[in-house]
Amino acid sequence: MANESRRKFLGVCLSGALVGAVTAVCYPIFRYLAPRAGETGAAKVVFPLTEIPEGEAKFFEYAGSSAVVVKTKTGDLIALSAVCTHLGCIVQWEKDQQDFLCPCHAGRYAPNGAVLSGPPPRPLAKLPIAVAGGNVTIG
């Protein structure tokens, strides 16, 4: 009689551990594949034009991801995704070189997002940008 209750208890413990292990493996996969809740492509980000000095970049969050606006030496404004197209690392602006560097595998992008060197397969994604009344609007 005691052996039956012990076997039943061990079976329940083993089943619980198995369910926990399957959940621990499947949940991150589900979160990776499922779209983020409440995220829409219609979001807009607005900030003053004076926040972007010439030859520098301003990083910000756009639609749940990192983005950047660059004001080139010629005064052009370019809005890009800051996510490297190789492995998804966040690129860094190198003011002295006037380009983007991906810290993961040394991929380089021009200020307009074009690939200059390294492993990135595609240019950085461009974002819609508008300037009106001294404000920059992304989206």
Segments in the chain forming alpha helices (H):
2-33
The reply to whether 40 falls in a domain is no
**Domain containing residue 15:** 1-34
Sign for the pseudo-dihedral over CA of 111, 90, 49, 135: positive
pTM: 0.67
Residue 64 has pLDDT above 90, yes or no: no
Mean pLDDT score across all residues of the chain: 87
128 and 67 within one domain: yes
30 and 79 within one domain: no
Residue 30 has pLDDT above 80, yes or no: no
- pLDDT tens-digit profile of 114-132? 999 989 999 999 999 999 8
